[in-house]
Structure 1
Amino acid sequence: MPANEKLKEKISHLPHKPGIYKFFDDNGIIYVGKAVDIRKRVSSYFNRSAQHNKKTLKLVSQIKDIEFTIVDTETDAFLLENNLIKQYQPKYNILLKDGKTYPYICVVNERFPRVISTRNKLNDGSRYFGPYPSGTTMHVVLDLIRTLYPLRTCTYNLTPENIAAGKFKVCLEYHIGNCKGPCEALEDEASYNHYIAQIKNILSGNLSVAKTYFKERMAAAAADYQYEVAHQFKQKLDLLDDFQAKSTVVSNTLTNIDVFTITSNDNCAFINYLKVMNGSIILTQSLEVQKKLDEEDDDILASVVVQLRQEFESTSREVITNIDLALPLDNISVSQPQIGDKRKLINLSLKNALYLRKEREGRQEKNKDLSEQRELRVLETLKKDLRLTELPRQIECFDNSNFQGDNPVASMVCFKNGKPSKKDYRHYNIKTVVGPNDYESMYEIVSRRYRRLLNESQPLPQLIIIDGGKGQLSMAVKAFKDLDIYGKIAVIGIAKRLEEIFYPGDTLPLYIDKKSESLKLIQRLRNEAHRFAITFHRSKRDAGTLKTELTDIKGIGPSTAETLLLKYKSVKKLRDLSLEELQAEVGKAKAVILYDHLHQVNQ
């Protein structure tokens, strides 16, 4: 049964249930999708081909197998799809970077806890805050904590027994005032833990507890005429105020909200995420997502919301966005606010997304302009080096290929504006020449190529390159004269040994500087034409060998040989098949004949 028939048969037995489906090619999973009705969704890929774009049609053409998993609800399907995409990273799904290397601030689970940075979140009883979108952001917060509170940085095991035994001595951090010496019992555990409680509040986005503490201590010191101490607390309070000022304050009435906005073009989506706690934006992240199948904005944003919430460990039950978004997650509300403070949040987030879009599109346009400038410069150099009358925006190069006179073929490759235009490449089977005659073969293919262009009123190239010396070049010129286009197109020949450039009727070759960009472009064309011809010749030769070998087997006819040839291409691939696999292709009787012959030959 052909592969497409097998797929249709499998699709007809898919369930009308919610779940996920996986598409496979010969190498593994290429796409994971979710569906409320698996059969209807999968069938749509094959039944509505006229409605699909090129990317989706390419995906469908590569599908060799389908698997599915039924789940209870649409929510389960949504989460399972997200997990499978992260696990398998299929090439046709949008992919986001994994957040495993984001930094955290860790309050270590130990006596007199240290506050440290880490990228490894362990299940060790410590308290982790974050992750932070960058190391710079994390260090700003960590530096604030270490400036506000005298914390130890040593790794001593400060058990009561070790401290009582006098095992440790204070270090330089104690002498410069950054630590109060708990290692020598110079600070009690209750006071230290009071600092840690405030630090946890600050790291959770709640600065009010720490600010109240410093205000009270400042007032008490001032009342006791300890003005220098009061000033120290005033400085700490100013640090907190300055830190809070740098965090955008939205509204004290807004807390624990996730803000997502999206804008997109044909190729990419640009997304911004703001995390709001206690009236302040404590985290912001902008990212670009490459589209794989021209996905809609709501599909892209739904996937991104789930992943970013997981990576940044959001516990918010409220998500606000700039588009209508169906997010099938339990206990999560999604809305599109139109007025008030929440709308201001949307506008701020969207401004960031639009800025990212403008910056990336500007960079792409700049790179495109630079590339076009370089291409134009190379073509201008080529025009000057070859003394051409017009800029060679379209260049075509010809090459012949044969093996001891067998299967003579030829190729033509086309470059437009200095780049390969593969849709214009052509293969040629030599039809009028008997035996290994490269000169006559060149005459045939050049004649065929430009006779067709003339008949179809297609534009002619500005430059033609013949891979070979004077002989092949003279036959190309003869073809041009017979077509009455000689002199209308520039034509040169290139000899491989010394990279000599020949002109028609000129006995002396032209030598271009070996480092010249124009010579490198000519070499690229020549090498590409050679590769294209060799690949075609090899496939034709292998196909002929396979067909001959199969038809030499008694009981295997031309039709069976042709079917196997189209699918397997080589004897080696046929030999790797089991008897059962061969039976599925050609039936039991022929499979036995083939299997015995191939494995006898192999012995």
Structure 2
Amino acid sequence: MSLTPSPLPRAFDAGSFLPTLPESPGVYRMIGAADEVLYVGKAKNLKRRVSSYFQKNHPSPRTTMMVARIERVDITVVRSEAEALILENNLIKSLRPRFNILFRDDKSYPYIAISGDEFPRIAYYRGAFEKGVRYFGPFPSGWAAREALQLLQRLFLLRTCENSVFSNRSRPCLLHQIKRCTAPCVNLIDKEGYGADVKLATLFLDGRHSDVIDNLGARMQEASARFAFEEAAVFRDQIRTLQTVLHKQHVDSGKDEDVDVIVALAQGGSVCVNLAMVRGGRHLGDRPQFPQAAGEGMSAADALLAFVEQHYLDHPAPGKIVIEGAEVEAARAVVDEALEKSPIVAAARFQNEKAWVEMALLNAKLAIETRQRESGRAQHQLEALRSVLDMPEAPRRIECFDISHTQGEATVASCVIWEGEGMKKSDYRRFNISGIEPGDDYAAMRQALTRRYERVATGEGVRPDLILIDGGKGQVGVAWEVLGELGLQSVAMLGVAKGEERKAGLEQLIFPDARAPLVLGGEHPALHLIQTVRDEAHRFAITGMRARRSKTRLTSKLEDIPGIGPTRRKKLIETFGGLAGVRSATIEDLCRVEGINRRIAEQIYNALR
């Protein structure tokens, strides 16, 4: 249900408006002059949440500034908090209000997952949680999670292979040979022994390091008593490795505790919120965060509170949150609003917590300095590009297209985006090209641009400031025709043709009008930016083409094998977890599939090689 109060006078009368609000979940929009959307927010209780903005004292000057501009408030009542979250997210993306601070990125945090199989698998994981799987984390970066995973493999030798591979092994793989797996796939370890290793890995991930060492010590003593000295030596080496790792851990609380340390720092016109993660008492590293949309008047406290609210909507909260850079009471109120069961929210009190905060602030400072250096270089490149193209303003959004295929096979077009100060991977797109003559790059370019910009022509898609075409006069001419047909020739466009002997720095810039091609030279900052975007489009197109080609070739080969119809193809793919698994299977592996006898298995094996 959507409620839009009747137009209010310029001086917003909060006293008469607030009593009309329902105590229901929903989304509110603060509207300013000329129907400008100032802020979009969600609430479990609209009346309580919106009323908090019209108190005498505001938590920050930014909020005071926003409230002073409000001419009306629109609300939308929904059925649940989940619906409110989805609606808020959609409105912020489409309206981009000036007072919203956005931190949400495109990647979830990585975890280490231990499956619930008979012989559990340990793996690096991103994405939604599944039943029957235990997750440890989150880790602040993929590097931190993979480092922990490699350590666990060295210590406990758990399997990392997919179930489709595990269930079809006939001999140990390379990981067993290099002492990274005990090979439960071929019964080189029994269920009880493997389960004991899984338990130790779980204890380690839970931070119970002393329990792990005690367990390994007991197993070493037991093996020695049996005169199994080689087995005892394995446990001894595990204990030494673990103690070495713990010794290297520069900040360890010595407690089994999960803590998030969140600090905010404003410096040189930039604001950084840095999240450090402590799991099981071990400091796993940190991740600096910068607002995607901030507006004016943003302080470190504003950014920290906005981050806390958004982060814990999508990620589980630890037992404790240590903050620096905002009022503890304000942060606690935000957490209480976002979560049903709130963790402890406090400033740093103990020595180890103060050390964590000090490290997080130092890393935030370094992240700001790095970002400002990169930003300065990007702005210099953009300004140089503006000057070269004689544009009234430096382009904010650049889109680049490239075509990739292998002698006309598996043609794929890529579209990559530079926005603001770097590549915006969340907006990348690939187009699988079909219905054209193999190898016709002009037709492929026409199809890709038409599919990308027909929505822009109707006012639905995002309009770029500059379009780059990886190609010469022919590709540029086709692209210009497409833009003309869609009424978008007001968008600047430029072709990037490879120079003499395809050497970097000798590229020619091709204009869609009568201007002669331009060679900037390898040291020109505008060319550096163009090369960065062009190379990324090339990489993105090639990876998509290779994936499509591999899938197409294998599928067509399966279809060409006598006796392999849709049912058997489906069974093969399900059994081996995909086409690549079918290709790597042995004849004995293939014979285990229902409906595949040895004769057919040999046909499949030979056809795929």
Higher CA-based Rg:
1
Q: Greater RCO between the two (CA within 8 Å, min separation 6)?
A: 2
